[in-house]
Amino acid sequence: MTEPLLRVRDLKTYFVTEHGSGTARAVDGVSFEVQPGETLGLVGESGCGKTVTSLSILRLIPEPPGHIRPGSFIEFEGRNLLTLEPRELRAIRGNQIAMIFQEPMTSLNPVFTVGDQIAEAAIVHQRLSRRAARTRAIEMLRLVGIPDPQERVDHYPHQMSGGMRQRVMIAMALVCHPKLLIADEPTTALDVTIQAQILELLDRLQADLGMAVMLITHDLGVVAGSADRVVVMYAGQVVEQAPTPALFARPLHPYTEGLLASVPRLDAPPAREHGRLHGIPGQVPAATAWPDGCRFHPRCPYAWDRCRAEAPPLLDAGGGGEPGTHTVRCWLLTDPRRRTPHP
Amino acid sequence: MAGAAVLALVVVAALRRRVRATAPGRRFFRHPTAGLGLFVLAFFVTIAIAAPVVAPYPPHYQIDIAHPDRPPSAQFLLGTDPFSRDVWSRLVYGARVSLGIGAVAMLVAATIGTAVGAVAGYFRRWVDTTLMRLVDVGLAMPRIFVLLMAVALWEHIALWALVLLIGLTGWFGTSRLVRAEVLSLREREFVAAARALGAGAGRVIFRHVLPNAAAPIIVSGALGIGNMMLLEAGLSFLGLGVPSPAPSWGNMIADGWHKMAVAWWSSTFPGLAISLVVMALNAVGDALRDALDPRKEAA
């Protein structure tokens, strides 16, 4: 295995809540790696800590109330991002690691033209002149497939549709050719047809520019189409981690299983529950009070005594390849006969 | 005078035609008093700029010291004052001083207020606490007495120093307003996006946060100029502001007020000018507030 581009080890990002009523352990010991050029899917329901994880990597967590606990470790190309000076950090943001946000409607500054905003990173990091930056912005608009880039460069965000704005966001992020792009639910706010276009665009740009992409989503369909590997998060922890084909063929964590079962499919008749779409019962618990034992046990159809008492570690599921290729945080791995739901 | 009025009318009409095409422009002129206010302001600004052309006499020129307090007539449009100076000419030159002081003082106040508010709102924590306690102290001080003390300390205070003082004691409200605006803007996603792009604090504040807070700053500035002018008029009336014989509307009232009973014109007209301009500024400020409020966009 080559040296990873990004290595996150035991990341803990906690938030102190108002009135001192407790600490929200939004991200609680997350570890994963991103290889150069690969697409890593980060999957989970809302409130699992996906976004906090990505914001922690760029150290954009608002402090206070948030803080990254000592002992956490985020290494990018061999440098620990958590110990960098603000100046060094700014040199990485937007230049080496770029991020695109969920809401293209609110992530663009309403009072500047899209050209100004695309050019901004180039001006900040590469000290381009205004004219050169403008040329660059037009180039980027063409790259992300916006027609009439010469005209569009002078438009304001409110003159564009959601899909176009998301393309502009991508253009902004890619202006400096980052090595890692963090895409936080880049398609959630868009129509399905536009979603497909944006994902195709990301795929194409990734191949052209050779960057790694961290794709954060709650949509397994998006992951199946784009990601090489998948990390499934639940309640601030990684619960399963596997290459995409393996995960879809053999989901081992009951949570992953539930997520997959709740994706509507056209190719297989919905056999379970009299033709109704499956859902995972209950909700992600509050981050101030994770359940004892396995954090998924209140919603798990297989849970038994051990799950309530003891928190499972990440266990190797084997299944071909090197150790650590497919890991699962579930006691079922030690006792596979229990994989039959309670009546 | 008629020339200035016509010019002011033309300016208002042209402006109206120009901005009619935009939604904020329509909202501005929908205000019943906005056009009138704009006309009054345009009129006074015109005579202030064109003072040597508009005024028939130099402001200090004593026409006939043996016969002061002449009533308004064709020769002396607004009469003459107790020192036998043409009131209209002094009013015209006084517009330069009074409007100028108001505008410059507000500019000083708005700049400081915006800077302090932006820094406090953006950095929060101890920076915010420190600055806002300072503002509390500033707001708690009776401004007119601070100014009186300062003026008393420096006998014959220079005009620029007076303007600076008025500005320096007038930024507290603006800073509160800007801070509140920045507190909400800093949580917006495009600010996070800018930071993710590698923009530093200065860049984020000046390029991303403040331009979005421009509307309330402009409105409070327009409303604030009136206050600044009133303050200057008050100080000048007390004889502590603009020193005589230089004309300001405040000291013109002071020059004429002890003869109110026999020669009402030398105090009344500058007083009227102050009231008109301050009312006009308030009307325009109100209309601007409506015009620049993005929440009205849907209506």
The DSSP result for A132-195, as a single string, is HHHHHHHHHHHHTT-SSHHHHTT--GGGS-HHHHHHHHHHHHHTT--SEEEEESTTTTS-HHHH
Q: With bands split at pLDDT 50, 70 and 90, how would you rate the model's confidence at B72?
A: confident
The whole-number average pLDDT for the span B208-233 is 84
Q: Do B212 and A101 touch (CB under 8 A)?
A: no
pLDDT of residue B48: 85
Block residue for tokens 């929200």:
A24
CB contact under 8 A, A93 and B196: yes
B23 contact A CB<8A: no
| CB-CB neighbors (< 8 A) of A173 in chain B | 197
Q: What distance in Å separates residue A16's CA from the closest CA in chain B?
A: 15
- Give A162's pLDDT tier (boundaries 50, 70, 90): confident
Mean pLDDT confidence for A93-108: 82
Residues on A contacting B at a C-beta cutoff of 8 Å: 58, 60, 64, 86, 90-95, 98-99, 101-103, 106-112, 120-121, 124-125, 169, 172-173
Predicted local distance difference test score (pLDDT) of residue A267 = 65
Mean pLDDT of chain B: 82
Contact criterion met (CB below 8 Å) for A43 and A230: yes
* Res. A240: pLDDT tops 80: yes
Task: Indicate the pLDDT class of residue B299, thresholds 50, 70 and 90.
Answer: very low
pLDDT at B260 over 50: yes
Residue A188 has pLDDT above 80, yes or no: no
Nearest CB partner across the interface for B197, out of A86, A102, A124: A124
- Cα distances from A46 to residues A23, A33, A217, A219, A283, in angstroms, run 19, 22, 9, 11, 9
The mean per-residue pLDDT over the stretch A190-198 comes to 77
Q: Is the pLDDT of residue B279 over 80?
A: yes
- Averaged pLDDT, B164-171: 85
Closest approach of A52 to chain B, Cα-based (Å): 13
**What pLDDT does residue B298 have?**
42
> CA separation (Å) from A86 to A60, A182, B119, B163?
11, 20, 18, 40
Closest CA to A89 of A61, A127, A66, A128: A61
Where residue B238 falls among pLDDT bands split at 50, 70, 90? confident
- For the cut 80, the answer to whether the pLDDT of residue A105 exceeds it is no
pLDDT reading at A239 higher than 50: yes
Mean pLDDT value across residues B122-133: 85
Q: Which residue has the higher pLDDT, B67 or A27?
A: A27
Per-residue DSSP letter, A301: T
CA dist., res. B32 & res. B41, Å (int) = 16
Q: What is the mean pLDDT of residues B71-91?
A: 80
Distance CA A92, CA A81 (A): 9
pLDDT: which is higher, B77 or B225: B225
Structure tokens at A119: 């050019």
Supply the mean pLDDT for chain A: 81
Q: Over the stretch B175-187, which tens digit does the pLDDT of each residue have?
A: 888 888 888 888 8
Which pLDDT band, with edges at 50, 70 and 90, does B23 fall under?
confident
- Residue B183, chain A, CB below 8 Å: the answer is no
Predicted local confidence at residue A342, as pLDDT:
55
**Which residue has tokens 């997959």?**
A260
The predicted structure's pLDDT at residue A268: 61
Bridge partners (DSSP) of residue A238 are A233
Q: What is the mean pLDDT of residues B98-109?
A: 88
CB A244 within 8 A of CB A291: no
- With CB atoms and an 8 Å threshold, state whether B199 touches A110: no
**Share of residues in chain A with pLDDT > 70 (%):** 93
Q: Check residue A341 and give its pLDDT.
A: 62
Of A1, A4, A160, the residue nearest A75 (C-alpha): A4
Q: How far apart are CA B284 and CA B290, in angstroms?
A: 10
| Chain B residues lying within 8 Å of A108, measured CB to CB | 190, 193
Find the CB nearest A90 among B200, B208, B211. Answer: B200
Average pLDDT over residues A80-101: 84
Per-residue model confidence (pLDDT) at position A270: 53
Q: Do B196 and A109 touch (CB under 8 A)?
A: no
b/e per residue B151-163 (b: at least 16 CB within 10 A): beeeeebebeebb
Q: What is the mean pLDDT of residues A60-76?
A: 82
pLDDT tens column, A122-161: 888 888 888 888 888 888 888 888 888 888 888 888 888 8
* B218 closest CA partner among B278, B297, B285, B166: B285
**For residues B92-113, average pLDDT:** 88
Average pLDDT over residues A3-16: 84
CA B296 to chain A, closest CA, distance in angstroms equals: 16
pLDDT exceeds cutoff 50 at A165: yes
